[in-house]
Amino acid sequence: MQTPSTPQPETFVTDSARVFCDGDEAGVGNGHPRVWLQIGENGVAECGYCDRRFVLAGGPADARGLR
């Protein structure tokens, strides 16, 4: 029996270590309350509401190889 795969969280690469998430993908107010996140030493912050990931550009979690 094959189980359906869980979609990967949406990931954003940012130049700022402090970001906000409101889950409002289309900018029409359908998201969640705005929360501020601090990207830590691991280079990643995750939203507790919608699981979006924020990756610091050039940080240890930046998979684009721009370091």
Q: What is the residue range of 45's domain?
A: 1-67
CB distance 46 to 10 below 8 Å: no
> What CATH number does the domain containing 36 carry?
2.60.260.40
**What pLDDT sits at residue 9?**
81
pTM strictly above 0.85:
no
The 10 Å Cβ neighbour count of residue 65 is 6
pLDDT band at 64, cuts 50/70/90?
A: confident
| Number of separate domains in the chain | 1
CB distance 20 to 36 below 8 Å: yes
pLDDT (tens digit, 9 = 90+) per residue, 5-56?
Answer: 777 889 999 999 999 999 987 667 788 999 999 999 999 999 999 999 999 9
**What pLDDT sits at residue 39?**
98
Query: Buried b / exposed e across 7-43, counting CB within 10 Å, b at 16+?
Result: eeeeeebeeeeebebbbeeeeeeebeeeeebebeeeb
